[in-house]
Amino acid sequence: MTTNSLIDQAISVLRLNDTGVFTKPGPHQYPHQWNWDSALIALGLSHFDLPRAQAEIRSLLSGQWQDGMLPSVVYHAAPSDYFPNPQFWQIENSASAPRVPTTGITQPPLLATIVRLMHDRQPMPEFLREVYPALLHWHRWLHTARDADGTGLACIIHPWESGTDDSPRWLHLFEAIHPEALPEFQRGDTRYVAATERPNRTEYERFIYLIDVFRKRNYAPAELLQHSPFLAQDVLFNAILFRADEDLRALAVSLQEPAEEIDGWLQTVRSHFDARFWDADAALYYDYDVRAGKRIPVNTASTFLPLFAGLPSEEQARQLVEQHLLNPMEYGRDEDVRHWVTTTAKNEPTWEARRYWRGPVWVIMNWLIFEGLRRYRYDDLAQALRRDTVGLIEGAGFREYYDARDGSGCGSTDFSWSAALLIELTKDR
Ligand code: DGY
């Protein structure tokens, strides 16, 4: 298939999922507007329809809470069979909820990075001036309302905030959570996708239990930080935030806005990042369990995300690439597992080839790692990863994730960010 016809197909997927107000991540499985999906969708759209890309971002920002939080999902007025629905979240009891229905939690803060990428390619000063205050407000909220210990590192209170819901890095935290009384609920996520490709019941029950805890506390940020049974500092989330702070700073400079506050976040986080996350013996970044006060020694692809943020030294980057990314026992390709980068190291006991964030290859992770490799001048490796990722889409279509053994597709079909990133990965390269 030629690159151009693949790009045409990607554009058709984005058009198919376009409701006119926002773009659905997937036509059936995800019928509302998801935060980091929407940022990537805007990036894809910006290649061929900049006004529509800007409209996507405006529509996401319409769900911003008064305290600055940008929620993981904005429901708009679209009725659907998706669970959990706005009636379940009950955000109206919070003092800072917006008018439009949303969830009560956030998601990885990619948006400032995407806005900067778009602006660098095609200057849009007016749009920048319009959205900058909202971006600053969100980042300020992340560095204050979610800073549990003065490190500037943002805590997550729900695995859905990591965007990698059932990643094995969260299993150990789940062991300490015992849902006493679960509210009544009916899962909707296994209606369109096989249950074997979705989170297990034990994990799902804890996802729901946590929402119940939060709604009982009316989503008051200080209370959630103090009482959430799940409290983690996530390498992926904080690497994305650090990179987004750098990009927010660049936007501030181009708008001639003061940047001292952002400089402060960057300095504080940089000075704590390694002490908190880097395990020198394993040469891996591990997530941190805040309640237990210790790292979570599970090897997942999040360990490569600091490359995207420029945080590792050259030596740390070399170790990550040589000891892990290329190691056939962990992430490197071999005869049985022909594609990369699996979201969990293959030698982790919890690795599963087709289950959600337990092992499959995700286009978003590959794009973030591709950008990280380029930042550290591993250009040949980055191009090899780019080709493998495009090949997966060519072989199995725009799927949500892929079985790394044979490249077959899993999860939602016609998945928007796979389409958006296909355009990003193939345009002018
Ligand atoms: C889902 O419904 O699976 C989402 O990941 C939650 O945001």
Rounded to two decimals, the pTM is 0.98
Q: Is 298:173 a contact under the CB 8 Å cutoff?
A: no
| Nearest atom of ligand 1 to the alpha carbon of 198 | 3
Closest of 320, 284, 301, 427 to residue 361, by C-alpha = 301
The predicted pLDDT at position 122 comes to 96
Cα–Cα distance between 153 and 147 in angstroms, integer?
Answer: 6
* DSSP labels, 152-163: -PPEESSGGGGT
Q: Return mean pLDDT, the chain.
A: 97
- Known catalytic residue: 149? no
Residue minimizing CA distance to atom 4 of ligand 1:
160
* Residue 218 half-sphere exposure toward CB, CA atoms < 13 A: 6
Contact 197 CB / ligand 1 (< 6 Å)? no
The predicted pLDDT at position 429 comes to 63
* Mean pLDDT value of segment 350-378: 98
User: Is the pLDDT confidence value at 192 over 80?
Assistant: yes
User: Is the pLDDT confidence value at 24 over 80?
Assistant: yes
In percent, how much of the chain has pLDDT > 90?
A: 96
* Mean pLDDT value of segment 110-118: 98
Contact 160 CB / ligand 1 (< 6 Å)? yes
Tell me if residue 325 falls in helix, strand or coil. helix
User: Is the pLDDT confidence value at 1 over 90?
Assistant: no
User: Is the pLDDT confidence value at 316 over 80?
Assistant: yes
* Mean pLDDT value of segment 51-80: 97
| Nearest atom of ligand 1 to the alpha carbon of 30 | 2
Q: How far is the CA of 83 from the centre of ligand 1 (A)?
A: 9
User: Is the pLDDT confidence value at 10 over 70?
Assistant: yes
Burial letters 223-239, b for 16+ CB under 10 A, else e:
ebbeebbbbbbbbbbbb
In percent, how much of the chain has pLDDT > 70?
A: 100
Tell me if residue 102 falls in helix, strand or coil. strand
Q: Is 89:103 a contact under the CB 8 Å cutoff?
A: yes
Tell me if residue 132 falls in helix, strand or coil. helix
Catalytic one among 56, 67, 165, 203?
165
The predicted pLDDT at position 181 comes to 84
CA dist 367 to 11, 39, 241, 341, 410, Å? Answer: 18, 14, 16, 10, 18
CA dist 82 to 28, 73, 75, Å? Answer: 9, 11, 10
Residue minimizing CA distance to atom 7 of ligand 1:
160
Q: How far is the CA of 429 from the centre of ligand 1 (A)?
A: 32
pLDDT band at 12; cut points 50, 70, 90? very high
Contact 37 CB / ligand 1 (< 6 Å)? no
Catalytic one among 400, 403, 414, 424?
400
Contact 38 CB / ligand 1 (< 6 Å)? no
Out of 102, 165, 358, give the residue to mutate to test ligand 1, the one with the largest number of ligand atoms within 8 Å of its CB.
165
Interhelix angle 3-16/416-426, nearest 10 degrees: 150
Burial letters 69-78, b for 16+ CB under 10 A, else e:
bbbbbbbbee
Out of 28, 29, 30, give the residue to mutate to test ligand 1, the one with the largest number of ligand atoms within 8 Å of its CB.
30
User: Is the pLDDT confidence value at 3 over 90?
Assistant: no
**Would strands 232-233 and 284-285 be described as parallel, antiparallel, or unpaired?**
unpaired
pLDDT in tens, 258-273: 999 999 999 999 999 9
Instruction: For residue 396, give the amino acid letter.
Output: A
Contact 165 CB / ligand 1 (< 6 Å)? yes
- Known catalytic residue: 166? no
The predicted pLDDT at position 427 comes to 87
Cα–Cα distance between 32 and 223 in angstroms, integer?
Answer: 28
Q: Is 27:17 a contact under the CB 8 Å cutoff?
A: yes
Strand partners, 3: none
Residue minimizing CA distance to atom 2 of ligand 1:
189
Out of 107, 160, 170, 410, give the residue to mutate to test ligand 1, the one with the largest number of ligand atoms within 8 Å of its CB.
160
| Nearest atom of ligand 1 to the alpha carbon of 207 | 6
